[in-house]
Amino acid sequence: MKPVILVTRRLPDAVEERLRRDYDARLNPEDVLYSPDELIERAKDVDAILPCHTEKFSAEVIARLPARVRAIANFSVGYDHVDIQAAKARGLIVTNTPEVLSDATAELTIMLMLGAARRASEGERLVRTRAWKDWNPRFMLGTQVTGKRLGILGFGRIGQVVARRARGFDMEIHYHDVRKMAPEQEGGAIFHPTPEELMPHCDFLTLHCVSSPETLRLLNAERIALLPDGAIVINASRGAVVDDEALIAALKSGKLTAAGLDVYTNEPDIHPEYRELPNVFLMPHIASATKETRDAMGFRALDNLDAIFAGREPRDRVA
């Protein structure tokens, strides 16, 4: 008999086709967001769950999962929606989908950088609402990206791709990570051993950190104060790494010129003031939203499931 897989969201056609071929797949064609109780009920007779970051596997939820469930194979690179310690204690295998979304996320990071710097959302509204009346030398002045200093907080796979793309704009790359990278990974980027030492070198700051207790509100008022006046902040990692109140205050005061955001705390119920600020370029958590990337994420999750049910160690095990 084929293993039974609960798939919590509607996935790309090619991924669901492979699921139906290789597994007894319990799909979600209506793409309904399951409550914790519904999730547990639907998991009663399944061998594994293939969720997205929209499903929250707290310690309580994990404790209530049927004993038959062996694995949670996430359709995401982030796994902060899963209580990893509870999963380990329960003996659940947890996997993610790294690497395959690095290019797409880096592309969106560059878009956020350009959109925030060149006031893209303001300009588009002017055109759409017919408020654009004429041209003058002071109209819609933005910030030039070329030749500026880019600070990258979190220099893993995505951060390194962002650095490569940014070099096309002749940017000087600075970074902080938990360790200094090898020269071939740095590509000439300048390492700073603490976030505090990185901040003064950032005309632009991009965040590429995992969400964890250690990175909660990593960008806070104290660190924002260390940025150069007029800096621009970009976040395409997780909303929890930013202190919303501190960022909003800096955008209002002029300490920061702008921000470009794809992720938020409590999304989609984001901090309401972000919607009111004209100097924030907002996207709806779509960093990995290309056909190529979403297919690759699904196939990577299925590769992990294939390994688990073949008795092999999955490539992307995080618990």
Catalytic residues: 238, 267, 285
The Cβ of residue 274 has, within 10 Å, a number of other Cβ atoms equal to: 16
Cα-based distances in Å from 155 to 90, 129, 137, 216, 306? 32, 40, 39, 17, 30
Could you count the other beta carbons within 10 Å of the beta carbon of residue 260? 27
Q: Which of 103, 105, 84 is nearest to 95 (CA)?
A: 84
Tokens of 99: 């690497």
158-161, long-range: CB < 8 A, 24+ apart: 158/101, 158/102, 158/105, 158/106, 158/109, 158/208, 158/236, 158/237, 159/206, 159/208, 160/185, 160/187, 161/102, 161/103, 161/105, 161/106
Task: Report how far residue 82's alpha carbon sits from residue 56's, in angstroms, rounded to the nearest whole number.
Answer: 6
Q: With residue 158 as reference, give the H or E element that holds it.
A: helix 157-166
Neighbouring-strand partners of residue 73 = 95
